[in-house]
């Protein structure tokens, strides 16, 4: 499965601590829905949705990798797994904010909270 996406000039990486995101561990960056196009293997793309059914988590049924998801808090955007993007890596970000998806903004009066930050420090070796 392959896809293309147009990102902002300086994409930011984020993580989330909700039940599914904490387990998949992906660093994501956000893009408008219309900026992502599946170019190959659309038939291999499967969708997982739970709870309210708004968020749609797309994964490759061949390899199992989470590719992108339509978010619940911003349903006009995809959260794209940066590990799936050529030329990008989760380790490109020295610090990644972790949003508090356990206390989701849609269930919390629209309040968006930060749960913490993950840091990557490359080894000197």
pLDDT at position 104, please? Answer: 84
7: pLDDT strictly greater than 90: yes
43: pLDDT strictly greater than 90: yes
Q: Which residues contact 46 (CB under 8 A, 6 or more apart)?
A: 58, 59, 60, 61
pLDDT at position 106, please? Answer: 83
Domains, in order of start, for the chain: 2-117 (2.170.150.70)
Q: Is the dihedral of CA 24, 19, 10, 6 positive or negative?
A: positive
DSSP 81-92: EGGGSTT--GGG
**Does the predicted TM-score (pTM) go above 0.85?**
yes
Per-residue model confidence as pLDDT tens digits over 48-100 = 998 888 899 999 999 999 999 998 988 999 999 999 999 999 999 999 999 99
pLDDT at position 22, please? Answer: 93
Per-residue model confidence as pLDDT tens digits over 11-42 = 999 999 988 999 999 999 999 999 999 999 99
């Amino acid at each position: 499965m392959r896809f293309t996406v147009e990102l902002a000039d300086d994409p930011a990486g984020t993580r989330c601590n909700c039940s599914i995101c904490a387990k998949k561990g992906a660093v994501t960056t956000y893009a408008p829905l219309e900026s992502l196009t599946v170019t190959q293997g659309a038939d291999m793309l499967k969708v997982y949705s739970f709870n309210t059914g708004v968020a749609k988590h797309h994964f490759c049924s061949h390899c199992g990798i989470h590719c992108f998801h339509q978010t619940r808090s911003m349903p006009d955007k995809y959260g794209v797994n940066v590990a799936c993007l050529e030329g990008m890596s989760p380790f490109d970000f020295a610090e990644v904010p972790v949003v508090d998806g356990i206390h989701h903004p849609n269930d919390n009066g629209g309040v968006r909270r930060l749960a913490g930050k993950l840091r990557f420090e490359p080894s000197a070796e």
